[in-house]
Amino acid sequence: MVKILQLFTNEAQLVKALQKGDAKAQRHLYEKYSARLLAVCVRYINDKMEAEDVMIEGFMKIFDRIDQFKSEGSFEGWMRRLMTNEALMYLRTKRHIEIDLEAPEAQHLPNYEWADATLEAEDLMAVIGKLPTGYRTVFNLYAIEGYSHAEIAEQLGITESTSKSQLHRARALLQEMIKEMEILNRTAEAVKNLKGK
């Protein structure tokens, strides 16, 4: 395969080309960031096909709104924010984002000091994906995207206290799910060791 020379050696050149509507710059941007921005969408939308559709819509918004990027701060951060907003808008229109105050709560208060160093990032993302939509959305916005509770409340049309409650419940449920996963892993390891003897 022949390597194509990099047309855009830095972010500023890429942004300028995008602002001119350069198709090669758009393709370069998509190829460089699509995997990362799809991961943002998948954190909110469990169905990968739907997440891909949202990502494509998000890229269209990036291309349409590129003139709004003022080179203040991270370009990738700006794109992530647009993609997050696109995912939230999708959830709102599909009525998937319902903050359920009656959703099942974890059976105990979370112990934030507990953590297992063997837990891989991929495993953690899979566990987060199993949270109820409201919990998952607030957790992602707060813990991963860095939104404040005030910003989350505004984005989702809920109160700050509801955002805090959903985050607390998400953390407690995550801890419970991770402990269950650890128990299953230890049990599987023990069975494997017994069979090996």
CATH number of residue 63's parent domain: 1.10.1740.10
CA angle 100, 105, 106 (to 5 degrees): 150
Whether residue 92 is found in the same domain as residue 109: no
User: CA 139 to CA 141: how far, in whole Å?
Assistant: 6
Number of domains in the chain: 2
Domain span at residue 81 reads 1-96
Average pLDDT of adjacent 10-residue blocks, the chain of 197 residues: 56 91 94 94 91 96 94 90 93 67 47 48 83 91 92 90 93 89 80 74
Through-space distance between the first and last CA atoms of the chain, rounded to whole angstroms: 50
CA angle 128, 40, 48 (to 5 degrees): 75
Given phi > 0 = left and psi -120 to 50 = alpha, else beta, which region is 73?
left
Whether residue 35 is found in the same domain as residue 126: no
Could you tell me the sign of the dihedral formed by the alpha carbons of 37, 172, 113, 121, in that order?
Answer: negative
Whether residue 91 is found in the same domain as residue 109: no
